[in-house]
Amino acid sequence: MEKPSEKSWKKQPWFWSSAVASVILRLVLIVYFPNTLNFSSRPEVSTPLTSLRRLAEGYWLKQSSMSPYAGSMYHGSPLLLSILGPLTIDRGEGKSNHLLCGLAFVIADFITAILIRAIGQLLQVADIKSLKSLGATTHLNVSENFPSGDIAALVYLWNPLTIITCLGYSTSPIENLVTVLSIYGACMRLVPLAAFGWVIASHLSLYPVILVIPLVLLVGSGLDTPPRKLFPYIDDDQIQNKKSLNRIIFSWRRVFLFFLWASIWAFYVLILCGISLKDYSSLGEMFKRTYGFILSVEDLSPNIGVLWYFFAEVFDFFRNFFLMVFHINILFMVLPLAIRLHHRPCFLAFVYIAISSILKSYPSVGDSALYLGLLGLFVNALADMQFSFFLFSGYLGTLLLSPVMHNLWIWRGTGNANFYYATAMAYACFQIILVVESVSSMLNHDRALKKVSFCVNKFE
């Protein structure tokens, strides 16, 4: 029964050909249209945190023996500065100087897609195994399942948002890569890799810190399974199976190892940062200029998030209060989601990434590209999600409308800030609906599984 499907996701020339095609498309766009597309100046693509232009300024400041954080230009990691900085130097002679950077981002995108595919394959294997143990395979008709890893990887690679981010020379592809790397490491139960990805990702953009819960769950109890509550319905002959499931339920040793590795990596990263900033600045300044900048929303330039206009307009004496409220809003949902979805850590990671990319201080479409790619991993579970067409058109509409409104406001001066703010609001609403719908349909999927397994157990 599962043979054809297995075959179909073992050798798939169409996956590789389309993946390579997407890479070629990127390269063609980078090489032949270096200046015509000009995505790097779009506020949707490059935020103050991820803009490569600011990184170049930071690198220039560092080269002229000043702190890269002098002035309020650069807010990224000093490690990124050492890696990407040399690539941004103007070679002169009218050559497109960002070619190498573009290449780096294409590679990062490709690796991310490959990792997503690997995660998807692992998930699918685990899914089939747990369904089999429930004895529900016959009822759910597994043969109709899509190879979710391939789909997710291709969704990531062919997503116009990913392509735009890659061409827009923002550092989000790198951030996405390390985030996916940490999930992959946790899925493979490679504790050092997971810890490395988590530490680097939170070092680069702070928000992946909340991924610690899904990562710990993944490392401790393994991949996504249907809720454990279902297993009591299984008959006595399957108790053996249940025991084996219970045995791998949570390994504290791995969690401890995860934190040990995480602290080692964090220490290592801090030392590296300290070395690279040694002569110009201090780690304290680094934290103030990176995490402090993220948390205090100092830059009020427009982006697709919800916070910039709010903090440009809000009365000064409420500013701190609202800063706390908005940041806590992300943290508030962490625990309820973890309680409800603890049996599906990968999905939990997806929800966390989506939430933080909606509510973060300087969101860009690169963050959306990541969670839309990860959404592809759950294509089987979320098959009966509501409003998918509505959401698709909503995304499309807001993303087309946003440059128009920006143009009207900033360049033509015929619109005003409210136009652009309205699209940002609409975009946030669509994202919220997507998250809520996916969560509730995942819960429904679990319910359906329960029903099926109940029926199976009753009639057998």
Partner 1 sequence: MARLLSIFLLLVFILHVASESTEEVVEQIDGEEFTEELLFRPLPDRKVLSHFHFESRVPPTNSYGHHHRLFPKAIYQLVHKYRIREMELSFTQGRWNYERWGGFDPVSGSNAKPPGVELWAAFDVSPDQVDASWKNLTHTLSGLFCASINFLESSTTYSAPDWSFRPLSSNLRYGSLPREAVCTENLTPWLKLLPCRDKSGLSSLMDRPSIYRGFYHSQRLHLTSGEFDPMASDHGIVLEQMLTVVLQPDALETRGRNLQPNWSMSSLFGKTVDGKCALAKSSNVYVQLEGSLVHNMKDEGDEGLESNSNFEFSVSPDRIMKEINSFHREHSSILYGFSIKDHHNSKPFDLGFKWKLPVTWSCVKAPLRVSRFLMGSGNERGAIALSLQSTEWSQSLPKVDHNEEKCRLKVDVFQVVPWYIKVYYHTAKVYVDGVPQSFGDAIEKLSVSPSEDKVSPGVMEMSLKLPCDMKSASLTLEFDKGFLHIDEYPPDANQGFDIPSAIISYPDFQTRMQYKQDNASIKSPMVSKMQEKRKILSYTEVLLVPLTTPDFSMPYNVITITCTVFALYFGSLMNALRRRVGEEERLLKEKDKKSGKLQLLFSKLSAKLRGKPWDPPSSSSSSSSSSKFISSKVILKIVLIAAIAFGWQYYSG
Contact between 421 and partner 1 per CB under 8 A: yes
Segment interacting with partner 1 (CB under 8 A) among 108-116, 198-206, 307-315, 392-400: 307-315
**Nearest to residue 175, comparing CAs of 423, 399, 356?**
356
Q: Which of 306, 369, 375, 377 binds partner 1 (CB under 8 A)?
A: 306
Contact between 199 and partner 1 per CB under 8 A: no
Contact between 331 and partner 1 per CB under 8 A: no
- The DSSP code for 409 is I
For residue 170, the cross-strand partners are 51
CB of 48 to partner 1, least distance (A): 10
CB-count exposure of residue 215 (10 Å: 0-12, 13-18, 19+): buried
Segment interacting with partner 1 (CB under 8 A) among 20-28, 128-136, 240-248, 427-435: 427-435
Contact between 285 and partner 1 per CB under 8 A: no
Q: Which of 359, 369, 382, 385 binds partner 1 (CB under 8 A)?
A: 359
Which of 99/118 has CB closer to partner 1? 99
24-30 LR contacts (CB < 8 Å, sep 24+): 25/163, 26/102, 26/106, 26/109, 26/163, 26/166, 26/167, 27/103, 27/106, 29/163, 29/167, 30/99, 30/102, 30/103, 30/106, 30/167
Contact between 411 and partner 1 per CB under 8 A: yes
Which residues between 210 and 269 bind partner 1 (CB under 8 A)? Answer: none
Contact between 428 and partner 1 per CB under 8 A: yes
Contact between 316 and partner 1 per CB under 8 A: yes
Which of 137/407 has CB closer to partner 1? 407
What span, in angstroms and rounded, lies between the C-alpha atoms of 33 and 27? Answer: 10
Which of 22/438 has CB closer to partner 1? 438
Which residues between 27 and 66 bind partner 1 (CB under 8 A)? Answer: 41, 53, 56-57, 59-61, 64, 66
Beta-carbon contacts of 325 under 8 Å, excluding residues fewer than 6 positions away, are: none
Contact between 320 and partner 1 per CB under 8 A: no
Beta-carbon contacts of 121 under 8 Å, excluding residues fewer than 6 positions away, are: 9, 147, 149
Number of residues that bind partner 1 (CB under 8 A): 61
Contact between 418 and partner 1 per CB under 8 A: yes
CB of 369 to partner 1, least distance (A): 20
Query: What is the Cα Rg of the chain in Å?
Result: 23
What span, in angstroms and rounded, lies between the C-alpha atoms of 207 and 202? Answer: 6
Q: Which SS3 state, helix, strand or coil, does residue 51 take?
A: strand
**Nearest to residue 214, comparing CAs of 148, 119, 305?**
119
CB of 410 to partner 1, least distance (A): 5
- Rounded to whole angstroms, what are the CA distances from 358 to 25, 314, 369, 371, 378? 28, 20, 12, 10, 20
- The DSSP code for 88 is G
**Nearest to residue 152, comparing CAs of 120, 110, 191, 108?**
120
Which of 53/189 has CB closer to partner 1? 53
Binding site for partner 1 (CB under 8 A): 41, 53, 56-57, 59-61, 64, 66, 70-73, 92, 298-302, 306-316, 325-326, 329, 332-333, 336-337, 340, 358-359, 409-411, 413, 416-418, 421, 425, 428-429, 432-433, 435-436, 439-440, 443, 447, 450-451
